[in-house]
Structure 1
Amino acid sequence: MWSPSFVAALLLLLTPAAHTLKTGDWKTCSQSGFCRRGRALSARAQDAADVWKSPYSVIPSSVAVASNLASFTAAVKSSIYPEINFELDVRVHKDGVVRVRMDEVGGLRKRYDEAASWALVQEPEISRAIQWSVGKQEIKAKYGEKKDVEVTVEYNPLKVTLSRNGKEEVVLNGRGLLHMEHFRTKASGDDKPVEGSEGDAQAVMQTNPAAWFEGDTEDAWWEETFSSWTDSKPKGPESLSIDINFPRHGHVYGIPQHATSLSLPTTTGPSATFTDPYRLYNADVFEYLASSSMSLYGSIPLMHAHSAESTVAVFNAVGSETWIDIGRSNDRSTETHWVSESGILDVFILPGPTPEEVFAQYARLTGTPALPAHWSLAYHQCRWNYVSSDDVRGVQKRFDEEDIPVDVFWLDIEYAEEHKYFIWDKKTFPDPVEMTNDVDALERKMVVIIDPHLKRTSSYPVYQKASELAVLVKPKSGEGEYEGWCWSGSSSWIDGFNPASWEFWKGLFKTKSIDGQWSWTESTDAVHIWNDMNEPSVFNGPEITMPKDNVHYGGWEHRDVHNINGMLFTNMTYQAVAARSDPPKRPFVLTRSFYAGSQRFGAMWTGDNLGTWEHMTVNLKMALANGIGGMTFGGSDVGGFFGNPEPEMLVRWYAIGIFSPFFRAHAHIDTKRREPYLLDEPYKSILRDTIRLRYAMLPMWYTAFREATVTGIPILRPQYVVFPKDEAGFAIDDQFYVGASGLLVKPVTEKGATEASIYLAEDQVYYDYFAHYAHQGSVKGKYVTVPAALHQIPLLVRGGSIIPTRERHRRSSPLMKYDPFTLRVALDKVGSARGELYLDDGETYSHQDGEIVWREFTAETEKKSKVLRVSSKDLALEKPQEAVEGNALAHFDPANAYAKKIAHVRVEKIVLVGLGKQPKAVRVEGGKELDWDYAPGVSSGKEGQAGVLVVKDPAVTVVSDWTLVVEL
C-alpha cells in the first residue's frame, strides 16, 4: 500500500488545477495501433486506386429473404482470408431507416455486439410493405410514398447504397475500406501478413494479398504501449474499418463531442484543417483546446450530411474507441472513414430527406430527451466548492438581498467526507437536511455531486456493500476489484453492466432506510444529482481513464464498452432519483460523459472549459453540435471553469447562458468568487436584468422542451435546420434559433464589440426584441447590423411568431406558477403570426396522464374587413397524440385537474409588434372595448421602427378559448 504522503503527492500532481493541458496525455492516431492500421489501409487503397478492390463479397446463393419482412441475411467472404466466415443482415425499418449489420460467425471468439441494445429504446419494427428484388449481382428494394428511395446491396465487392430519385446519397464501402479484423491465434502465425513483394501494387496483390490489404507487419496486434502503460490485447486484432461516403452532400455535422465548428472541418487532403481524425473516446480533458479534433467527454457516433437537396445521416452503433477521417473531393461531396477498435458493423442509415425527418428517425431509434422538471430550466449557481452549510445559506441570502433570481445551488466534491460520496463532512456540513430544507423553503433545489469512483475503505458502507455484491469493475485478470486513483484516493468503480448493480444503486438514494439497508437518509427529495468523472476519469490510468483490458460483467473488456460506460452510470442515477419518491418526481441528473441515448436521462455540459473568449465562442458551436447528436439539454460553465474572467466577458457569457437549455454558472476552486451579486456596477445590474430575462422566457423554453421530447428536434436550431435550402447558411454557427419560438440569437463573443451582424435568410421581417425595430430580410439573404453594447443582447423575433412570457420578478421559478402571461405577437409581412404555450405541474409525471395545458395562439389580418384577430384555442384537444412524449394520450380532457388548478391564470398583456396603423377599437369578441396604447411606426414591409399596440388586461385566461378583435 502506498504511503499517505505519496498519495497526496500523486493527487496534487494529477489534479487538473496543477497544470494546463498536456496534449501528450492523450493519444494521436499515430500512437494508436488500430488507428494507424486503419489509416494505412486507406493510404494503400488510395495509392492502388486503379486496382484496389474490396475483398469482401456476398455469396449470392446464401441470400435469404425473411418472409413478409423487409430484411435479408447473407454469407460474406473475404478473398484475403477465405476460411473466415461473416454474416450480413440488412433490414429496412417501418420508417425507412436502413440497418446494416455484419459480424464474424464461427470464429475463435465473439465480438461485442451489445452497443445498440444500450442505445436503442426498443428493437425497431421492420417494414412489411417492402419487397426485395434478388438479382445475380445485387439485391435491392424501393420504398417511400413516391417509391423514390432505393437501397441496393451489391455482391462483389460488397457495397451498400441508399439512393433517392436514382442519385446516390449514402454509400457504404464504396472506396473498399471495409475490414473486420478477424480473430486469430497468436501462437500459430499461420495468417500473419508477411513482407510484401517488390513491384507495383497489382503484383503485390497477386503474390501476397494479405500484405497488400492488411499491411506487411503486425502493428500492435497483441500488445500496445503508450507512455508508461502497456495494454495487453488477449483477443488480438479486432478493429473495424468502414468508409461511409455522401456523394451529394458538402457539409457534415454531429459526432459530438469536439471543440470545433458545427460544419465539421476536414482531416484529410491538402487543405485539411486537422491532421488527426476526429476521435470518439470519452476522456477527462481538462482545459481542452478551443479548436481540435481531440476526443472530449462524450461520444455520439451520429453524423448528419446536408445539401440543398436533402439531409441524411448515419448512426454507427459501436461503443469502442473510434476515429473518423473526413475529406472532400469537391464542395458537393464528403468522404468519411470510420475506424473502431472493436465491435461489429452495425450502421443505421437515416434517409431523411429533411432535417426534421432525420431528427425524428434518430429519436425513434435512441429516444427523445426526457421532459425536465420546470425548475431545472432556471438559473443554477455552482462552484467548486461552497464550503459549508452556512456558506450555502449566505449565498442564498445574498441573491435575495440583491433581488437576483436563482433556483438551484450546487455542491461539488468537498461536501463529502474524504470524498466518500453520500457521506456528509460533518465538520463543514453538520446539518445537511436542515440546510436543504432552508433552501427548499424558498422553492429552490440543491444538486450534489456523486462520482462513480468509490473510496476503498472499510469505513465506507457504499464501497463495502458494492464489494460484497461483486458489482465493481475487475482488473485484466478477471478476479477481484480494479484499483485506481481519483478524488477519493484508492478507488474502485461501479460496473453498470452488471445487472446486480442497478438495484444496489437505486437503494442508495432512498431517503429512508428499508430493511436495515444503508441508504442516504441525510437527503431529501429536493436534492438532485450531478454525475461527474464518469468517462471514467482515473488519475493514474492510461490517458487519465481506465485500462482497456479491465473486465466488465459478461467478460467484456473495457475497450469494448468504454464510450457506453458513462451513460450507464447516469441511467442508473436517473432511475434511482425517480424511484426514491412516491409518487415519482422527475429527476434532474447532470452528466459529463455521454453516448447515444443519454438524452433520455437528463442534461450535460461541456466540461472543464476556460474563461476565455475563444472558449466562449467554441462552447456555442459545441452546444449546437450536441443538439445535432440528441443532447439538446446542454450548456457550458458560464464564465468558464478555469480562470478569472474580466467583467465584460462574464456579462457576455451570461447572455449566452440565458439562451442555453442548461443554464449554470460554475468555477474552479482556485478562482475568485464571481457570483453575479459580487460584481461592481453597472455589471451587476446588467447580470440581474439578463437572468431576469431568462426567467421571463421560461414559458417559451418549457414549450420548446415539450416539442423536443415529442419530435427529437433540438431546441437550439442551427441555420441549416431552419433554412435547409439556403446554402449561405450551411456553415453558420455563431447564431441560432430557439425552438419554434421565432427567436433568433446572435451572441457577442468578441471583446469590445458595440454592434453585431446577423444573417437573415428570407424575405421576412425580423424585429428587435427590445426596441421593436423592424429589419427587412431578402429572398437572397442578407446581413443586418444591430446594436450590441455591453448591456444589449442581439436578439431578433421572426415575423409570424407569438412568444408567451411571464414578466413578474420572482426569486425562483416555482413562485411564478400562478403568474399572469404576456403574449408578444410579432406580425409577419401579411399580418399573421402563430405560437404555442405548454404547461403542466412541472414536477411529476401527471402530464403523461393528460394533466396539461397546451394552447395555440394565432393572429390573422382580414384585409377586406380591416380586422386583426388574435385567438387562443386548445391544441391538446386537437392533437392529443402529439401532446406529450411517447404519444401517450389516447384522448384529452380540457377540464383535467391541472387545467382546473390554473383556471384563474390570466393573460395580463398582449403586445402586437408590426401594426402599421393605429386601431379604431380593441375588444375581446363578445366583450366590451379594452384599454390600449399605440406607438406608431413604419408601414408593413418597411425598414424602421415598428408600430406597437399594447393591450392592457384583456380579461382572458390562459386555459380558455378567446379572440381579441382589433379594428383597423
Structure 2
Amino acid sequence: MATTRSPLLLLLLLFLLSCSLHIPSVSSWKKDEFRNCKQTPFCHRARSRSPRSCSLVAADVAIHDGDLTAKLVSKNGEPFENPLILKLSVYKGGILRVRVDEDPNLGPPKKRFEVPDVVLGEFESSKLWLSRVSDEGVSSVVYLSSDLEAVVRHDPFEVYVRRKGGERVLSMNSNGLFDFEQLRMKKEGEDWSESFRSHTDSRPYGPQSISFDVSFYGADFVYGIPEHATALALSPTRGPGVEFSEPYRLFNLDVFEYLHDSPFGIYGSIPLMLSHGKGSGTNGFFWLNAAEMQIDVLGKGWDAEDGIALPSSQERIDTHWMSEAGIVDAFFFLGPEPKDVVQQYTSVTGRPSMPQHFATAYHQCRWNYRDEEDVGNVDSKFDEFDIPYDVLWLDIEHTNGKRYFTWDSALFPHPEEMQKKLADKGRHMVTIVDPHIKRDDDYYIHKEATNNGYYVKDSSGKDYDGWCWPGSSSYLDVLNPEIRSWWADKFSLQNYAGSTPSLYIWNDMNEPSVFNGPEVTMPRDALHHGGVEHRELHNAYGYYFHMATADGLLKRGNGNDRPFVLSRAFFPGSQRYGAIWTGDNTAEWEHLRVSVPMVLTLGLTGITFAGADVGGFFGNPDTELLVRWYQLGAYYPFFRAHAHHDTKRREPWLFGDRNTELMRDAIRTRYILLPYFYTLFREANTTGVPVMRPLWMEFPADEATFKNDEAFMVGNSILVQGIYTAGAKHASVYLPGGQSWYDMKTGVAYKGGVTHNLGVSDDSIPAFQKAGTIIPRKDRFRRSSTQMVNDPYTLVIALDGSLEAEGELYVDDGKSFEFGQGAYIHRRFSFTKGQLTSTNIAAPGSGKTFSSNCIIDRIILLGLSSGNKSALVEPGNIKLTIEPGPLNLHARSSSKALTIRRPNVRIADDWTIKIL
C-alpha cells in the first residue's frame, strides 16, 4: 500500500490544499517533496568540513568500570563548549564498541537520546572488563584478540583497529572529520528554527549533529546501509568523476513510486556498512543512532587538495557518516569472513526470529480483495487451477472506515467464518494494522488512547494531529513500554473482534507516514515519552510499532505460537520481530532487477525474511515480466504477490493457459524447496547468516563475484540467475570456480570459474545446484504447505569431483517455540566413499521432543556413473535398484540423473545407503 488517495480522501485533501496546507502530490514521485543534503543544514555543514578540521585530542586516558575512558578536549584552547567523554569497550568475539557523549556532570540542557531495546542484554553481559591499557606515548592500546588490537591515538584523536603486525583494519576519524555539536541554551536573539517548504521545525535545542569519517582498509567494495534501490556494491557519492552528488540517506519515508538506482532513502534504515576485499576479508561498522543519517562513500582523490598520508600506504575506502542528533554508539566488527560479520552484528541486535512454516510459502495479496465473496472466489480459483498458496491478505478497505481492529460489516459480515474456511484447507489470513489512529470519539481505540495520554505530542504538548488514511489521525507513542504493552493487548481474540488464531498481521505506513507532514512524515519537533524529540528517534518509530504488534501476537498465543508480522519500516533489531518487504515498487523490468540487491542488502544487515512485491505494486506488468517475476520471486525468502487497487487484476489464472502453467510451476518450485528453505531459516535463526546471499558470501576469494548482484545464492547450495530483460533468449551466467554446477531442471553439469552463455526459454530462469551439496525436497503437490506435513522427502545429491556431498534437514512442528527446548529434528546427510549416511546433529534438548514418521522415498544422484546398478539400505539389509530417472517430476528427463526409489528410511533415524 502506498500514499495514494481514495476518491473521498482526495476531495478532503484538495480542500485542505485550498487552505494552504501542504499535501504531497500523488501523480508520481516528486523530488522536491523531499530534502536534499543542501536543504538539510546538518548534512550541508558536515559535508563542508575539510579533512583534518577536527581539533579534538584524547586526554586523561584511564580504565574505568572495565572500559577505556578519555576526555576529548579542544587542542590549543580552541573553542569547544565542554569535554566529551569517550568510552571504548571490548566484547566477546573481538567486537569493539566506541561511545562518545556529552559529560552529564557539566549540565547539558537535556540528556541526549540513546536508542533503547535494540542491543541485547546477553550481548551487554558479554563485555570483557579491561584491566590494563598499553601506553605507546602517542597512543593507548587494548587487546581485542590473538591478532587484533584497538588503538586510541591521542593527538590528533583517532580510534582504529590494527593487526599485531601494524596493518590497519578499520578506523574512525583517520581523516579528521569528527564533529559533535553540543546542546546548549538559546541566547537572546538566536533563531534556531529551520523551514522546509511550508513546515517549520522549532529546533528548541539548536544544532546537535554528529559526523565523523570511517575507513575500511584493504577493501575492494563496501555494501549495506539499507534501504536504497541501488546496486549491492555501493558507488562513491563524492569525489572526482562521481556520478551522484547526494549522500546515501537513511531517513524512513513513505516514498510514492521510488526510483531505482538512487541513493535516496526510503522505508527503513540500518546504519551498518560492510567492506570486503580479496586480501583483507570482511569487516563491518555499525552506528546505533535513530536520527536522520547521511553517508558519503568517498571516491579516490576526494581529499586530493587537502589529503593526509595513508598509514603504511594501505589502500582503503573512506566514508563519511553524518547524523542530526543522538550520540556516538558505534561497533567495529572484524570478521574476518563475511558470515562472521553478520554473526557478530546479530549477536548485538538479535538473531532473526524463526518463522512459522506456513509463512515461508506463497502469499497472495492485493489492495484490496473487495469482500467475503471475492476472498472465497480467489481461494477457490487457486484450487481450481491446482496452484498452492498459504496466505490471503486484506488491506485497509476491510475495516470500518479505516478503524483498525474492526471489519466493514457490509463487506465482511462473517470474518471468523471466512477465516475458518481458509484454515480448513491449512491456509491463513493476514490483515493490516497501521499506526495512525482515526480521531473519532466513537472509536474505542482513540478514546482509550486519548484518555490515557498515549499519543505523540506536538511541540506545544497537545496530541499530534496529522492526516493519513482515516483523515485526521493521531499516532501512538510506542517509545513508551507501557503504551506498547497496551497496544499488544489489543490483538487478543477477545479484544480483536472477528479474529481467529489463523489470523496474522501486517504493519504498513509505520515510517510513520503523515500525508500533510514535512516530507510525508511527522515533524521533527514532535515529542515522545521522556521528552524525546521525534528527530532523535524517527528511524526507530516503525521498529517499536513492529515490536508491539509482534508482542501482541505472542500474548494472544500465550507465548507459544510464533507471530507473523510484516513491516514496511525497519531498524536494527527488526529481524527479531518478523518479515520486511521492499515497499511500493513498480511493474518495470528495472524494479525486478533492483529487487535482488535490495533483498541481498537486507540479508547482509540481519533481515533475512525479506522480499519484494512480485509483479510490482504500481502499474500493470506485461505477462512476460509477471512470469519472470514469479520465477525469481520463488527464491526470495519472503514470497508474496501484491498489487495496487488501480491495477488490473493479476491472479495467476488470468493470463491464458500457458502463462498460468508457467506461474504455477514457479510457485510449485517454492513448495518443492520448502524443506530446504525452512532449514536455511533455522540456520539464520541460530547464526544470523541470511537465507538469500550474495555470491561473495559463499565465495569470498572469487573477485568475479564482488559486484555481481544479478545472481545470488540460496543457502550454500543453489545459485539463481534472474532474467531482467524482455524477450531474452540467452543469459550470461557466472558460476564461481572450484566445483561443478548442475542445472536444476536437467541435471547437466557446468564448469565453475567460467561465464556461460546459456539459452533460456520461458519455462524457468537459470538455477544450479552446487556440486558437493545435498538438497532436501518435497515433491508432492498440495493446496498448502500445511497439508504437506506428512509427505515424504526427496534428497538430491550433487556429487563433486571426489564423489562426495553433504547437506542438512531441519524439521520442527512449524509453529511453536518448543524447538527452543529441543523439540526438533536436525539431520546431516553425508555422501562419501560410495555411501550415504544420515546422522543426528541436534543439540541436547531440555525436556521437549519432536518426532516424525516422514520417510525419504526418493534419492536422486547427480555426477554418479551409470555403471552403478544397486544400493543396500541399512538397517534392514534391503537391496534396491538404481535406475535413470528425471530430476524433477514435471521436468525434462535427464540421463545424468540416477534414482533410488522408495528406500523408505525415516528422516528421524540413523541409516546408511551404500552404492554397489
Sort the TM-score into its range (normalised by shorter chain): over 0.9
State the secondary structure of the residue aligned to 2:630.
helix
**Residue 19 to residue 4, structure 1, CA distance change in 2 (3 Å):** closer
* CA deviation vs aligned residue, 1:487-531 (integer Å, no higher than 9, x gap): 01000001111222122112111112xxxxxx1121111110000
* CA deviation vs aligned residue, 1:180-219 (integer Å, no higher than 9, x gap): 0112333258xxxxxxxxxxxxxxxxxxxxxxxxxxxx9x
Is the CA contact (8 Å cut-off) linking 2:113 and 2:536 kept in structure 1? no
Is 1:167 aligned with 2:167?
A: yes
1:533-552 equivalent positions in 2, closer than 5 A = 533-552=509-528
Is 1:951 aligned with 2:911?
A: no
1-structure distance, mates of 2:746, 2:25: 44
Aligned residue among 598, 620, 624 for 2:574: 598
Q: Which amino acid aligns with 1:314?
A: F
* CA deviation vs aligned residue, 1:36-66 (integer Å, no higher than 9, x gap): 101111xx33xxxxxx45211111xx22213
Gaps of at least 5 residues in structure 2 are: 1-7, 302-313, 888-892
1-structure distance, mates of 2:886, 2:807: 24
Equivalent residue number for residue 516 of structure 1: none
1-structure distance, mates of 2:667, 2:516: 41
Is the CA contact (8 Å cut-off) linking 2:821 and 2:845 kept in structure 1? no
Equivalent residue number for residue 36 of structure 1: 44
Is 1:155 aligned with 2:104?
A: no
Is the CA contact (8 Å cut-off) linking 2:186 and 2:206 kept in structure 1? yes
Equivalent residue number for residue 246 of structure 1: 216
Aligned residue among 322, 326, 341 for 2:297: 326
2-structure distance, mates of 1:272, 1:765: 39
TM-score by length of 1: 0.88
* CA deviation vs aligned residue, 1:75-129 (integer Å, no higher than 9, x gap): 1112432441211101111211111111111243234332264344542522247
Equivalent residue number for residue 405 of structure 2: 422
**Percent identity (aligned):** 42
Aligned residue among 249, 256, 268 for 1:279: 249
1:513-552 equivalent positions in 2, closer than 5 A = 519-552=495-528
* CA deviation vs aligned residue, 1:382-412 (integer Å, no higher than 9, x gap): 0000010111111101111111001000000
**Residue 119 to residue 645, structure 1, CA distance change in 2 (3 Å):** farther
Equivalent residue number for residue 932 of structure 1: 882
Gaps of at least 5 residues in structure 1 are: 46-51, 190-217, 513-518, 862-867, 881-889, 938-943
Shift of 1:920: 3.7
State the secondary structure of the residue aligned to 2:97.
strand
Is 1:629 aligned with 2:605?
A: yes
2-structure distance, mates of 1:466, 1:81: 47
Q: Which amino acid aligns with 2:27?
A: H
State the secondary structure of the residue aligned to 1:417.
coil
Is 1:343 aligned with 2:344?
A: no
Equivalent residue number for residue 176 of structure 1: 176
1-structure distance, mates of 2:838, 2:742: 23
Q: Which amino acid aligns with 1:932?
A: I
State the secondary structure of the residue aligned to 2:128.
coil
Q: Which amino acid aligns with 2:636?
A: S
Give the root-mean-square deviation of aligned CA atoms: 2.1
2-structure distance, mates of 1:675, 1:572: 33
Is 1:72 aligned with 2:68?
A: yes
Is the CA contact (8 Å cut-off) linking 1:11 and 1:487 kept in structure 2? no
Is the CA contact (8 Å cut-off) linking 1:124 and 1:365 kept in structure 2? no
Shift of 1:310: 1.4
Q: Which amino acid aligns with 2:371?
A: S
**Residue 509 to residue 714, structure 1, CA distance change in 2 (3 Å):** same
Is the CA contact (8 Å cut-off) linking 2:567 and 2:580 kept in structure 1? yes
State the secondary structure of the residue aligned to 1:459.
coil
Is the CA contact (8 Å cut-off) linking 1:53 and 1:157 kept in structure 2? no
1-structure distance, mates of 2:493, 2:80: 60
Q: Which amino acid aligns with 1:239?
A: S
Q: Which amino acid aligns with 1:871?
A: T
* CA deviation vs aligned residue, 1:914-964 (integer Å, no higher than 9, x gap): 112321421213413113313699xxxxxx977321001012111111111
Is the CA contact (8 Å cut-off) linking 1:120 and 1:597 kept in structure 2? no
**Residue 389 to residue 10, structure 1, CA distance change in 2 (3 Å):** farther
**Residue 921 to residue 117, structure 1, CA distance change in 2 (3 Å):** closer
2-structure distance, mates of 1:287, 1:592: 14
Equivalent residue number for residue 563 of structure 1: 539
Equivalent residue number for residue 785 of structure 1: 757
Q: Which amino acid aligns with 2:878?
A: K
Is 1:374 aligned with 2:341?
A: no
**Residue 542 to residue 914, structure 1, CA distance change in 2 (3 Å):** same
1-structure distance, mates of 2:882, 2:107: 79
More moved, 266-275 vs 617-626: 266-275
Equivalent residue number for residue 92 of structure 1: 90
**Residue 652 to residue 392, structure 1, CA distance change in 2 (3 Å):** same
Equivalent residue number for residue 27 of structure 1: 35
1:200-599 equivalent positions in 2, closer than 5 A = 222-308=192-278, 309-329=280-300, 332-477=315-460, 479-512=461-494, 519-582=495-558, 584-599=560-575
1-structure distance, mates of 2:603, 2:886: 40
Aligned residue among 902, 909, 913 for 1:960: 909
2-structure distance, mates of 1:556, 1:245: 32
Is the CA contact (8 Å cut-off) linking 1:821 and 1:908 kept in structure 2? yes
**Residue 300 to residue 4, structure 1, CA distance change in 2 (3 Å):** closer
Shift of 1:4: 8.8
Is the CA contact (8 Å cut-off) linking 1:774 and 1:946 kept in structure 2? no
Shift of 1:714: 1.1
1:7-22 equivalent positions in 2, closer than 5 A = 7=12, 9=14, 18-22=26-30
1-structure distance, mates of 2:760, 2:15: 47
1:131-150 equivalent positions in 2, closer than 5 A = 131-144=132-145, 147-150=146-149
Equivalent residue number for residue 767 of structure 1: 742
2-structure distance, mates of 1:503, 1:53: 47
* CA deviation vs aligned residue, 1:659-701 (integer Å, no higher than 9, x gap): 0000000000100000112121210001111111100100000
Equivalent residue number for residue 898 of structure 1: 850
1-structure distance, mates of 2:43, 2:69: 30
Equivalent residue number for residue 637 of structure 2: 661
State the secondary structure of the residue aligned to 2:809.
strand
Is the CA contact (8 Å cut-off) linking 2:237 and 2:299 kept in structure 1? no
1-structure distance, mates of 2:45, 2:903: 70
Runs of 4+ deviating beyond 6 Å? 11-17
2-structure distance, mates of 1:916, 1:169: 48
* CA deviation vs aligned residue, 1:697-754 (integer Å, no higher than 9, x gap): 00000000000010011111101111111222111111111113x1111111111112
State the secondary structure of the residue aligned to 1:7.
helix
More moved, 587-596 vs 101-110: 101-110
Shift of 1:247: 2.8
Shift of 1:15: 9.1
Equivalent residue number for residue 186 of structure 1: 186
Aligned residues: 881
Is the CA contact (8 Å cut-off) linking 1:774 and 1:945 kept in structure 2? no
Is the CA contact (8 Å cut-off) linking 1:94 and 1:128 kept in structure 2? no
* CA deviation vs aligned residue, 1:839-892 (integer Å, no higher than 9, x gap): 00001111111110101101013xxxxxx101111111xxx1xxxxxxxxx547
Equivalent residue number for residue 853 of structure 1: 825
2-structure distance, mates of 1:908, 1:236: 69
Q: Which amino acid aligns with 2:867?
A: Q
Is the CA contact (8 Å cut-off) linking 2:352 and 2:688 kept in structure 1? yes
Is the CA contact (8 Å cut-off) linking 1:130 and 1:141 kept in structure 2? no
State the secondary structure of the residue aligned to 2:12.
helix
2-structure distance, mates of 1:32, 1:697: 47
2-structure distance, mates of 1:786, 1:306: 29
Is the CA contact (8 Å cut-off) linking 2:100 and 2:328 kept in structure 1? yes
2-structure distance, mates of 1:589, 1:237: 37
